[in-house]
């Protein structure tokens, strides 16, 4: 592949499975032989932790690249997953808004610094912060595709509506190439009647935009980060890992990443 496909994993609500999805989707894609770069764009740095990267190893991170202190290439570190590199984050990233606001093209900072990597990786996957901040806007402006994880609960529907409007505005004003590849139900519990109702509502409104695959509530998915491993490595037979393998198959089978 000549040019990277940049995928932003976005939802302004916290705790909906963005980081878990970033870690496990990127790991499964790497097992197919694709070259993957994960960018941790969340000041909490949970994606970095989930790949077992210590705080000491985050000295060169995305914050320094965004402010122009070092080049993006200097931030890249390898992970325990073959074919998968990461650019880490730490709490310094919380201050980035103050650094970016005075800049003229502040929405395009990430997009510009990623250009030098466009022929190095097949997929660049960005874990966005849980807010519609300037960081998230930068990710959406840089992205070719957007994946939206969401829980099947009432408040998620409100949040989804705001997010879809934001993506529409980004497409209209800042990034005409952006496309949503799908909405992914996470922490899915089919025994819960509300889960069914929310799923029915979203599928009725958005149809093919919703992935057939759902990610179940699964203890092993929750445990894996504390061991610094993707669930796919920690326990590839657990229901959560199997679901992420199915999600990756669904994405690749539909050929929606490259719009074929």
Do 146 and 140 form a contact (C-beta atoms < 8 A)?
yes
DSSP 214-244: EEEP-HHHHHGGGGTS-HHHH-TTSHHHHHH
pLDDT over 90, % of the chain: 76
Within a domain: 258:
no
pLDDT at residue 110 is higher than 70 = yes
Within a domain: 88:
yes
Structural domain span for residue 142: 5-253
- Average pLDDT of the residues in 130-142: 94
| Side-chain half-sphere exposure of 142, counting CA atoms within 13 A | 34
Within a domain: 222:
yes
Q: How confident is the model at residue 1 (pLDDT cuts 50, 70, 90)?
A: very low
Within a domain: 163:
yes
Domain count, the chain: 1
pLDDT at residue 258 is higher than 90 = no
Within a domain: 260:
no
Q: Which CATH number characterizes residue 70's domain? A: 3.40.50.300
Burial of 146 from C-beta contacts in 10 A (0-12 / 13-18 / 19+): buried
Residues with Cβ within 8 Å of residue 61, at least 6 apart in sequence = 40, 75, 87, 88, 89, 90, 92, 93
Q: With 0.85 as the threshold, say if the pTM is over it.
A: yes
């Amino acid at each position: 592949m000549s040019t990277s496909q940049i995928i932003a994993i976005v939802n302004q609500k916290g705790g909906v499975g963005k980081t878990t999805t970033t870690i496990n989707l990127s790991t499964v894609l790497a097992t197919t032989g694709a070259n993957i770069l994960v960018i941790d764009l969340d000041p909490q740095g949970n994606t970095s932790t989930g790949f077992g990267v210590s705080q000491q190893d985050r000295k060169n991170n995305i914050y320094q690249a965004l402010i122009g202190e070092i080049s993006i290439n200097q931030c890249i570190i390898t992970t325990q997953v073959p074919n998968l590199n990461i650019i880490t984050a730490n709490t310094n990233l919380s201050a980035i808004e103050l650094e970016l606001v005075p800049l003229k093209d502040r929405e395009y900072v990430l997009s510009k610094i990623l250009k030098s990597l466009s022929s190095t990786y097949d997929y660049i996957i960005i874990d966005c912060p849980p807010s519609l901040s300037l960081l998230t806007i930068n990710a959406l402006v840089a992205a070719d595709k957007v994946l939206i994880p969401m829980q099947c609960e009432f408040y998620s529907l409100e949040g989804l509506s705001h997010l879809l409007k934001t993506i529409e505005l980004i497409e209209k004003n800042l990034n005409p190439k952006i496309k949503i590849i799908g909405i992914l139900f996470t922490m899915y519990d089919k025994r819960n009647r509300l889960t069914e109702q929310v799923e029915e509502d979203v599928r009725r409104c958005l149809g093919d935009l919703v992935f057939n695959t759902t990610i179940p509530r699964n203890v092993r998915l929750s445990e894996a980060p504390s061991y610094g491993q993707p669930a796919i490595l920690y326990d590839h037979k657990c229901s959560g890992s199997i679901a992420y393998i199915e999600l990756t198959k669904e994405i690749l089978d539909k050929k929606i990443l490259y719009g074929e």
